[in-house]
Amino acid sequence: MIVEIGHFALALALGVAVVQALVPLWGVARHDRALAGVGSAAAVTCFLLVALSFGALVASYARSDFSVENVVANSHSTQPLIYKFTSVWGNHEGSMLLWVLILTLFGALVAMSRRSLPVRLRAGTLAAQGMVTVAFLAFTLLTSNPFRRMLPAPPEGQDLNPILQDLGLAIHPPLLYVGYVGFSITYAFAVAALIDGRIDAVWARAVRPWTLLAWVFLTLGIAMGSYWAYYELGWGGWWFWDPVENASLMPWLAGTALIHSTVVMEKRDSLKVWTILLAILTFSLSLLGTFIVRSGVLTSVHSFASDPSRGLFILGILIFFVGGSLALFAWRAPLLRQGGLFAPVSREGALVVNNVFIATACATVFIGTLYPLVLEMVTGDKISVGPPFFNATFIPVLVPLLLVLPLGQSLAWKRGDLLGAAQRNAMAFGIAIVVALAAIALTRGGPVLAPLGIGLGVFLVAGAAFDLGERIVARASGWPAMLSRAKGLPRSTWGAAFAHAGVGLSVIGIAAAAWSTEAIGVLKPGERLTSGRYTIVLESILPRSGPNFRAEVARFQIFSGNRELGPLEAGKRVYTARAMPTTEAGIHTDGLSQAYVALGEPQGDGAIAVRLYDKPLILLIWIGAIVMAFGGALSLTDRRFRLAAPRRAAPQPVAAQPAE
Amino acid sequence: MTAAEQPRTMAPKRRLTRKQRRLVLIAAAGAVLCLAAGLVLFALRDTIVFFYGPTEIAEKGVAPGTRMRLGGLVETGSVTRGPGQRVTFSITDSRTAIKVSYEGLLPDLFREGQGVVTEGVFQGAGQFRADSVLAKHDETYMPREVADTLKKQGHWQPGSSAPTPQAKP
């Protein structure tokens, strides 16, 4: 019964979404406020129905209802309850339902936001969001129905893929999806603005919190996914330039550019056309990512049960929304009026530099990800584009941007002074040089570029700190004055400083990866293996059993030099339902560094193959991402987003363009 | 806006017209794009790796010393271990088999009869030295290249990870 209610609610949601997609536009065309306002009620209803449907699926999983095909394929009665819950989105159908749930959640949030949006903008946004919802609800119902019954019901399920039976599954997909799907709102705002034919600072201010929200979640989602792959896959790698990873990196890059370009738009009312285009492209890249992940057209280490026939449906959705919005853009964008002026050397100019470089970096990832697909279609040759390609293209494009980032941050609005900005950053630059030289001296004969990378990261962190310091200390004398100045600084200034420092921390972590070392050995109890600063001694190998797996666990003692750091366990599990082995890496965190132990094959005579890595400063990669996300969240609480946006009715120098 | 954010010197500068500013912007963006295009073209020539099945290596006349990806099925009964971490096995598309040697830990799902993709250097004479063996997350998942290779030899049905013994017409 619950299952049928869920299925019915989903079908009903499709109907409501059609109303949400069409009626508000009709209302706008007829200048009927009541009709234009229908979108809000529809969006909220649609969300409630999808939530009911999602709840029904969760209930089926929690009760291990094996009359549902989806539950049979991805669950097992012996699973711990937490993994029964996470199994809901550990498969194609359930994860599409989560996708739609988040999509409708964002629609409902826009509908309910108390911020006074112009009626036409809100109606258009909800309609555009409704169209996306219709497409994905139809996709879920027609090709990926999670509520399909299986009769007669088998007594036991097939269990979830063991690699997914991890806390990472509880955290990573929801975060990532909120990020991916959150950009649908900026897309909907862009489409609404194009339909309406006017776009100004009000629009920028309305869009910016949504962009920031999506960006914060996408940042956390990517970082979490990276850390999960790092500890779960047992290779000690945290980024493989895999198509599925690139699929999430592209919208992140475009979203990062969008966050920066909306600042210019809000401040100077310029870069309108570009910002609209970016808003469209960001969500288009999210859709492309969904297509790549769901269709399996590109071979990925992160592929889970994908289906090419469904891929075709998503390709259709992709073409409709990307093509449709770009056509609308080509038709309406020339109507947008010119905005304010700024000198090339100014904060606005620096933000433009940011956009040029990030968009270019995004393009190189795009080419590297899709080139194999295009080449195979054209010539039939199969190729793989791996890390060497991205190291040779993405990094050279991004590094110059990071080098000038602290300068841009301290330029004045409208017309800046490059020499002054350079002087303000001289101290940070000096510290960076000293640290880089120290790194070279300490690691004589090591990789050449790594110390420079460390220096770059330090420059970013110090630049952000000095910039904040300057704003607080300048012209303020005494602690109370400084404190009140610190309080008076806009939250978005704090946010930007944290986000930029976070980039710096990640850069340090990435650069330090060049010093990581790896050792492989075959150990018997009592024998030792050394890699870099760490030595492990195998103590014993014991069998162990879990709720739905058997495991072989190797116990080690870990030493750094002669200092004992404690015990460490690494294991191999075999999940009984699928007879599938997984590696449980043993990780010892030593400050910001980690020692990483993965087991290989048992060798028969009581010995076991062991791989030990020394990963210096690796935690900084993810800490940096968390600091970035914290910065984004801080910006989100900025005063100007909490207060009502300025009314359009106020006399503005830039007259709004009538739509018709 | 605070005074700290103001430029300290307001040197009299030439004012750029809107058109000139736009030109500066377009020129700068164009320069960055050209740089990136150059990097991409350069990297595409040097860093991409071609994928071949065992039979294709002979058909396309791959030269020894070429870096490539090799995919197919791990031939049943071909895996031998040792000494140390050295593993040798054969990758087959049921017509041709290539002997692969690899040093290191194998992924969890490496098994005889399973699809596998390896990357390394073709040594000539049916020998391949792999420096990485690609892992997969799902035991029913077949790398698309491997599936295509097997389909070409008529030995694969969707939905089954092992090839069926009967070749389809």
Give residue B159's pLDDT band: very low, low, confident or very high (50, 70, 90).
very low
Question: For position A14, what pLDDT does the model report?
Answer: 97
Which residue in B138, B140, B149 has the most chain A C-beta atoms within 10 A of its own C-beta, making it the best mutation to test that interface? B138
Question: For position A617, what pLDDT does the model report?
Answer: 94
What is the Cα–Cα distance from A500 to A455, expressed in whole angstroms? 15
Who among B4, B84, B143 is closest to A522 (CB)? Answer: B84
Q: Looking at chain A, how many residues does it have?
A: 660
Q: C-alpha dihedral over A25, A31, A35, A40, to 10 degrees?
A: 70
- For A33, half-sphere exposure in the C-beta direction (CA atoms, 13 angstrom radius) is 2
Lowest mean pLDDT across A171-185, B2-16, B43-57: B2-16
Work out the minimum CA distance from A303 to partner chain B, whole angstroms.
7
pLDDT at B12 over 70: no
What is the Cα–Cα distance from A580 to A561, expressed in whole angstroms? 37
pLDDT at B88 over 70: yes
Work out the minimum CA distance from A51 to partner chain B, whole angstroms.
29
Q: Are A302 and B3 an interchain contact pair (Cβ–Cβ within 8 Å)?
A: no
A591 vs B85 pLDDT, higher one = A591
Q: Are B104 and A520 an interchain contact pair (Cβ–Cβ within 8 Å)?
A: yes
Residue A296 with chain B: CB contacts under 8 Å: 144
Question: For position A651, what pLDDT does the model report?
Answer: 41
Residue B43 with chain A: CB contacts under 8 Å: 388-389, 392-393
Question: For position B115, what pLDDT does the model report?
Answer: 81
User: What are the structure tokens assigned to A330, written together?
Assistant: 């080509």
What is the Cα–Cα distance from A517 to B164, expressed in whole angstroms? 43
Report helix, strand or coil for A355.
helix
Shortest CA distance from A360: residue in chain B: B33
pLDDT at B161 over 60: no
Q: So where are chain A's domains?
A: 1-165, 198-322+337-413, 425-515+629-642, 517-615
CA dist list (Å): A17 to A48, A134, B90, B120: 12, 6, 54, 51
Work out the minimum CA distance from B106 to partner chain A, whole angstroms.
7
Report helix, strand or coil for B110.
coil
pLDDT at B136 over 70: no
Class for domain B50-152, per CATH? Answer: mainly beta
Q: Are B145 and A389 an interchain contact pair (Cβ–Cβ within 8 Å)?
A: no
Q: Looking at chain B, how many residues does it have?
A: 169
Q: Are A397 and B36 an interchain contact pair (Cβ–Cβ within 8 Å)?
A: yes
Q: So where are chain B's domains?
A: 18-48, 50-152
Question: For position B155, what pLDDT does the model report?
Answer: 57
CA dist list (Å): A209 to A217, A644, A646: 12, 13, 15
| Helix/strand/coil percent split, chain B, to 5 | 30, 25, 45
Residue A471 with chain B: CB contacts under 8 Å: 2, 4-5
Cα-to-chain-centroid distance, residue A600: 32
Q: Are A388 and B46 an interchain contact pair (Cβ–Cβ within 8 Å)?
A: yes
In 3D space, the residue among A32, A173, A191 whose CA is nearest the CA of residue A97 turns out to be: A173
For A308, list phi and psi in degrees, rounded to 5.
Answer: -60, -35
Question: For position A650, what pLDDT does the model report?
Answer: 41
Question: For position A528, what pLDDT does the model report?
Answer: 93
Give residue B139's pLDDT band: very low, low, confident or very high (50, 70, 90).
low
Question: For position A398, what pLDDT does the model report?
Answer: 93
Q: Are B7 and A417 an interchain contact pair (Cβ–Cβ within 8 Å)?
A: yes
Question: For position A152, what pLDDT does the model report?
Answer: 87
Report helix, strand or coil for A126.
helix
The DSSP bridge pattern shows strands B49-52 and B67-74 to be: parallel
As for the ipTM of the complex, it is 0.76
Q: Are A384 and B119 an interchain contact pair (Cβ–Cβ within 8 Å)?
A: yes
Beta partners for residue A587, in sequence order: A596
User: CB B28: neighbour CB atoms within 10 A?
Assistant: 15
Shortest CA distance from B117: residue in chain A: A299
pTM for the model = 0.90
| Helix/strand/coil percent split, chain A, to 5 | 65, 10, 25
Residue A505: burial class (beta carbons within 10 Å; 0-12, 13-18, 19+): buried
Shortest CA distance from A382: residue in chain B: B51
Question: For position A134, what pLDDT does the model report?
Answer: 97
Question: For position A609, what pLDDT does the model report?
Answer: 86
Cβ pair A342, A336 in contact under 8 A: no
Which residue in A169, A263, A299 has the most chain B C-beta atoms within 10 A of its own C-beta, making it the best mutation to test that interface? A299
Q: Are B46 and A392 an interchain contact pair (Cβ–Cβ within 8 Å)?
A: yes
Who among B7, B16, B39 is closest to A396 (CB)? Answer: B39
Which residue in B19, B48, B149, B150 has the most chain A C-beta atoms within 10 A of its own C-beta, making it the best mutation to test that interface? B48
Shortest CA distance from B1: residue in chain A: A413
Which residue in B5, B45, B148 has the most chain A C-beta atoms within 10 A of its own C-beta, making it the best mutation to test that interface? B5
Looking at residue A566, the DSSP 8-state letter turns out to be E
Question: For position A124, what pLDDT does the model report?
Answer: 93
* DSSP H stretches of helix in A413-524: 418-424, 426-442, 449-473, 479-488, 491-512
CA dist list (Å): A73 to A70, A76, A529: 5, 9, 42
Average pLDDT, consecutive stretches of 10 residues, N- to C-terminus, chain A (660 residues): 94 97 93 89 96 96 92 90 90 92 95 83 94 96 91 88 86 93 95 87 89 96 93 84 91 96 87 91 93 76 64 89 94 79 85 93 94 87 87 92 92 86 91 93 83 95 92 76 84 94 97 91 91 94 89 93 91 86 90 92 82 94 97 88 49 39
Please confirm whether the linkage preceding A602 is cis (ω < 30° from 0).
no
Question: For position B164, what pLDDT does the model report?
Answer: 28
pLDDT at B166 over 90: no
Report helix, strand or coil for A581.
strand
**End-to-end CA gap in chain A:** 51
Work out the minimum CA distance from A416 to partner chain B, whole angstroms.
6
* DSSP H stretches of helix in A37-146: 38-62, 69-74, 81-86, 92-112, 119-143
